Amino acid sequence: MYKAKRINIGVGWTNGYQPEIKKYYARIKATTNESYVKWIDIEHEPGQISFKRFDRSLKEMTRYGVKWQPFLICGPWYSVPYWYKESKKSHYFRCLEHDQDSGIQSIWNEKFKKTTVRFLKLFHDHYKDRENAIDSILLGVSGDYGEAIYPCIGNFDGLYHTHRGFWCNDSHAILDFRRHFKDKLKSIKALNARWGTSYSDFSRVKPFLKKNAPSRRAMVDMVYWYREAMLKHAEFWIQEARKLWKTKDIYLCMGGDGSAEEGQHYTAAAKLCAKYKVGIRDTNARDNFRFLNTYQCSTAVAANYYKTYCGFESSHGSTGKFIVARMFAFIISNAREFHEYSFLTKKDVVRNFCKFRKLMDISFRRKVDTAVFSSEAYVNWVHEHATAWDIKEFPWGLPKKPHRLFDRLRYHFDFDLVNDSLIRNGILANYKVLIIPGFTLIEDDIIEIVRRSAKAGRKVIAYGRNTLETVDEKSVSFDQAEEIVGLNKLLASLKQSGIRVKIKKDGIFEALDKSGRTLCYDENKDTIYWK
Ligand SMILES: [Zn+2]
């Protein structure tokens, strides 16, 4: 369902009324202002609740002509009052690497749920008479800042034990790990057969690091569990928030590149969110359009497929050049909300934003005929380590092979990245062609779905030197698949199937709307235009 698009600017509102901000908001036609509301901000001392500073800023926002998006955060280190941290109830994530506590509340701690529900209710009840001034709610459920993600690198005011790693070594996490595999596989015999292990019973089973993983199968399975645990935690938040705000837009905040350690799952989260008419805020924008197509646009593929909505945020802010790429990705993804920390002082960003601002309000229904497979098992196994947004020289994103492939292909044709969960949920029916990277890993049930799909007439291409393997280290070949190694051959084959391809890499990216019109973005000239 179409709902008006939102231009959401993140401003903390600590400096009081500033007339130039009002003008700037009017110029860029901002609709919304996001600001952080952490539990610590409203209850410094136990039971002493105060919303004064938020009341004041809400009044100012109304005067500025924008609505409020509170980012409600409860669980991360910087959101929890000192007196709770000092209490016996506090129960932190604990790392596998050093068996040491983080400063972030564990998502496995059932007791913290009550605290979270109370926080949400306090906020809701305080503002229930001013709901018209609130645009939407952003949920900050875990991680260093509030994203549905595990601790990664620490945040700007945090002094707690943190690093990229696996945060599933607290007592509740270990119990959940055992319970999960007992429910799934029923007997220790079945688990041992699957993992190549010899555990005597489930009480011996614990989460492990990759270097200690009994097998590839075991590691991939552990990461499935790790991601699912974060989704369960997100679902608890979503359910509670939906009970309070029955019709408002609610966004689950997500970020990061999807590595095993980070433990998020964008497309499964989209499916979960859709169940509650909740959307996803993806905070991953950076670099260029090809990057956006690989990350944020993929979140939108899932959001659109499951018929929910999403918002895009930049992890690094925008430049005059990058803002145009971001706008194009936003428009063709039909995302609902465009978020940016203020670019008031960046004249070239404001200028370029205003140039294409009108296009931000259209409803674009992107027609894509080609899907490229992005394997969850591959990421769980190969992409073990999280990368950090604040280490600029560190490569960010998927491992080199898929990252480079997706980046390169986007110069030549439009495609959606589809992963295991989207394929299990039937998304292949939307495409004429499926491309499977030759280097990837693939689960047995996905092989079956792809085989059926090929038999039913869909073109399947295994692209690149074929080293395809199952998670259990068996080689894979598809009877009905074309095996293609070179790019030119791939493009010729796609063309033959009626896919629009561009042989030469010219920096102009096209997206087809279902009405037949084509929207283009020229990354050399920084323009967006209808063809
Ligand atoms: Zn540690």
Q: What is the pLDDT of residues 276-302, one digit of tens each?
A: 999 999 998 888 999 999 999 999 999
Going from the Cα of 176 to the center of ligand 1, the distance in angstroms, rounded, reads 20
State the CATH number of the domain containing residue 59: 3.20.20.80
Contact 39, 74 (CB under 8 A): yes
Number of C-beta neighbours around residue 336 at 10 A? 23
- pLDDT cut 90: percent of the chain above it: 89
Going from the Cα of 207 to the center of ligand 1, the distance in angstroms, rounded, reads 14
Contact 368, 409 (CB under 8 A): no
* 283 within a domain of the structure (yes/no): no
* 291 within a domain of the structure (yes/no): no
In 3D, which of 315, 351, 362 has the Cα closest to residue 10? Answer: 315
Are both 260 and 387 inside the same structural domain? Answer: no
* 251 within a domain of the structure (yes/no): yes
pLDDT at position 106 over 60:
yes
In our burial notation (b when 16+ CB lie closer than 10 A, e otherwise), range 3-32 reads eebbbbbbbebeeeeeeebeebbeebebbb
Are both 257 and 386 inside the same structural domain? Answer: no
d(CA 365, CA 332): 7
Q: Which two tokens stand for residue 434?
A: 């499926």
State the CATH number of the domain containing residue 394: 3.40.50
Question: Tokens 């491992």, residue?
Answer: 399
pLDDT at position 501 over 80:
yes
Q: Looking at residue 158, what is its pLDDT?
A: 62
pLDDT in tens, 356-390: 999 999 999 999 999 999 999 999 999 988 776 55
Going from the Cα of 162 to the center of ligand 1, the distance in angstroms, rounded, reads 6
Q: How far is CA 292 from the centre of its chain?
A: 12
Going from the Cα of 395 to the center of ligand 1, the distance in angstroms, rounded, reads 22
d(CA 265, CA 228): 8
* 340 within a domain of the structure (yes/no): no
Predicted confidence band of residue 20 (pLDDT cuts 50, 70, 90): confident
Are both 136 and 11 inside the same structural domain? Answer: yes
Going from the Cα of 361 to the center of ligand 1, the distance in angstroms, rounded, reads 46
Dihedral of the alpha carbons of 89, 54, 13, 6, in degrees to the nearest 10: 100
Predicted confidence band of residue 17 (pLDDT cuts 50, 70, 90): low
- pLDDT cut 70: percent of the chain above it: 97
- Measure Cα distances from 418 to 116, 266, 268, 297, 433 in Å: 34, 11, 12, 11, 12
pLDDT in tens, 216-271: 999 999 999 999 999 999 999 999 999 999 999 999 999 988 999 999 999 999 99
Are both 382 and 257 inside the same structural domain? Answer: no
Going from the Cα of 188 to the center of ligand 1, the distance in angstroms, rounded, reads 29
Number of C-beta neighbours around residue 267 at 10 A? 27
Going from the Cα of 236 to the center of ligand 1, the distance in angstroms, rounded, reads 27
* 295 within a domain of the structure (yes/no): no
Residue-range definition of the domain harbouring residue 414: 370-500
Going from the Cα of 93 to the center of ligand 1, the distance in angstroms, rounded, reads 10
pLDDT at position 317 over 90:
no
Least trusted range by pLDDT, from 53-62, 151-160, 199-208: 151-160
Q: Looking at residue 477, what is its pLDDT?
A: 86
Contact 6, 336 (CB under 8 A): yes
Going from the Cα of 229 to the center of ligand 1, the distance in angstroms, rounded, reads 20
Q: Looking at residue 150, what is its pLDDT?
A: 96
**What's the 3-state SS for 378-404?**
HHHHHCCCCCCCCCCCCCCCCCHHHHH
Going from the Cα of 487 to the center of ligand 1, the distance in angstroms, rounded, reads 44
Going from the Cα of 87 to the center of ligand 1, the distance in angstroms, rounded, reads 22
* 350 within a domain of the structure (yes/no): no
Q: In what order do the strands lie in the sheet with 508-512?
A: 508-512, 518-522, 527-530
Going from the Cα of 95 to the center of ligand 1, the distance in angstroms, rounded, reads 5
Are both 99 and 225 inside the same structural domain? Answer: yes
Going from the Cα of 397 to the center of ligand 1, the distance in angstroms, rounded, reads 23
Going from the Cα of 253 to the center of ligand 1, the distance in angstroms, rounded, reads 25
For every residue of 81-148, DSSP letters joined together read -HHHHTSTT--EEE-TTT--EEEEE-TT-THHHHHHHHHHHHHHHHHGGGGGGB-EEEEE-BTTTBSS
d(CA 358, CA 337): 14
pLDDT at position 308 over 80:
yes
Write down the number of H helices and E strands in the chain. Answer: 18, 20
* 334 within a domain of the structure (yes/no): no
Q: Looking at residue 306, what is its pLDDT?
A: 98
Name residue 512's beta-bridge partners.
518
* 257 within a domain of the structure (yes/no): yes
Going from the Cα of 289 to the center of ligand 1, the distance in angstroms, rounded, reads 35
Going from the Cα of 478 to the center of ligand 1, the distance in angstroms, rounded, reads 43
Predicted confidence band of residue 316 (pLDDT cuts 50, 70, 90): confident
